[in-house]
């Protein structure tokens, strides 16, 4: 009888919408914040600035079976760890050139409701619409899946994680999906000063107000 979890997963919480659309809340004034990174370097940049994802966190989850045996992914649940007052500071937009759209299975989560649910939604693959597909999904070593969860809040500083239910060969289980052992985090940017990295009146590149 097989033992252990029959699947492996990785999660990347530094995904930007379309490769460019993302905000961070940082407790520093614009002159103290370095230029925005490229998406691939976002994790290191955010950590050095103690930045919190603003309004939206996109998590890309890669799931693969450990063998050729099929593993059924039965459900994806959202667990709220805490909701608090939104982080204070400024919101900084990362719009520095967009990449291509990602073709994963897409889900949206409203972190502000009492019982958040991951709702399947349509996606996009190189300009072609990908219809929303509900659970279950099937994975194996040869047939992985990519799930992308977009969680938003307009009211809180929210800590949360995901639970993925699986079944295989008569066994069932649940894996916790989080940010390297810590909850994912998303904070509202409502009412915060909002900046993007542009050119001021003197032709100098710097953080400037989005409404300027």
> pLDDT tens digit string along 166-207?
999 999 999 999 999 999 999 999 999 999 998 877 788 899
What is the predicted pLDDT for the residue at 100?
A: 46
What is the predicted pLDDT for the residue at 99?
A: 47
Share of residues in the chain with pLDDT > 90 (%): 75
Determine phi and psi for 77, rounding to 5 degrees.
Answer: -115, 155
| Res. 64 pLDDT band, cuts 50 70 90 | very high
Enter the pTM of the model. 0.88
Q: What is the pLDDT averaged over residues 16-36? A: 91
DSSP letter at 180 equals T
Residue 43: closest CA among 87, 76, 10: 10
What is the predicted pLDDT for the residue at 121?
A: 87
Find all residues with CB under 8 Å of 165, minimum gap 6, and list them.
Answer: 73, 74, 75, 76, 77, 172, 173, 174
With beta carbons less than 8 A apart as the criterion, state whether 148 and 106 touch: yes
CA–CA separation, 157 vs 86, rounded Å? Answer: 4
With beta carbons less than 8 A apart as the criterion, state whether 48 and 33 touch: no
What is the predicted pLDDT for the residue at 169?
A: 93
Mean pLDDT of the chain: 90
CA–CA separation, 16 vs 57, rounded Å? Answer: 8
Residue 61: closest CA among 6, 14, 9, 123: 9
With beta carbons less than 8 A apart as the criterion, state whether 26 and 33 touch: yes
What is the predicted pLDDT for the residue at 101?
A: 46
Max CA-CA distance within the chain? Answer: 71
- How many helices (DSSP H) and strands (DSSP E) are in the chain? 1, 17
| Residues 85-115 pLDDT 10s | 999 999 999 975 454 444 578 999 999 999 9
Domain limits of the chain?
7-209
| Residues 13-25 pLDDT 10s | 998 887 678 999 9
């Amino acid at each position: 009888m097989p033992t252990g979890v029959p699947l492996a997963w990785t999660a990347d919480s530094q995904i930007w919408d379309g490769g460019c659309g993302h905000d961070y809340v940082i407790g520093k004034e614009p002159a103290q914040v370095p230029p925005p990174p490229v998406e691939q370097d976002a994790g290191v940049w955010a950590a050095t600035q103690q930045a919190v994802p603003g309004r939206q966190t996109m998590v890309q989850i890669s799931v693969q079976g450990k063998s050729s045996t099929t593993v059924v992914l039965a459900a994806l649940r959202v667990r709220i760890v805490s909701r608090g007052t939104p982080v204070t500071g400024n919101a900084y937009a990362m719009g520095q050139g967009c990449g291509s759209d990602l073709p994963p299975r897409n889900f949206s989560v409203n972190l502000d409701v009492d019982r958040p649910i991951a709702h399947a939604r349509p996606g996009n693959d190189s300009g072609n619409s990908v219809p929303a597909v509900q659970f279950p999904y099937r994975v194996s070593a040869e047939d992985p899946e990519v799930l992308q969860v977009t969680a938003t809040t307009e009211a809180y500083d929210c800590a949360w994680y995901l639970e993925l239910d699986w079944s295989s060969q008569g066994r069932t289980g649940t894996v916790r999906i989080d940010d390297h052992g810590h909850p994912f985090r998303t904070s509202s940017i409502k009412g915060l000063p909002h900046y993007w990295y542009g050119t001021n009146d003197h032709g100098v590149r710097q953080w400037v107000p989005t409404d300027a």
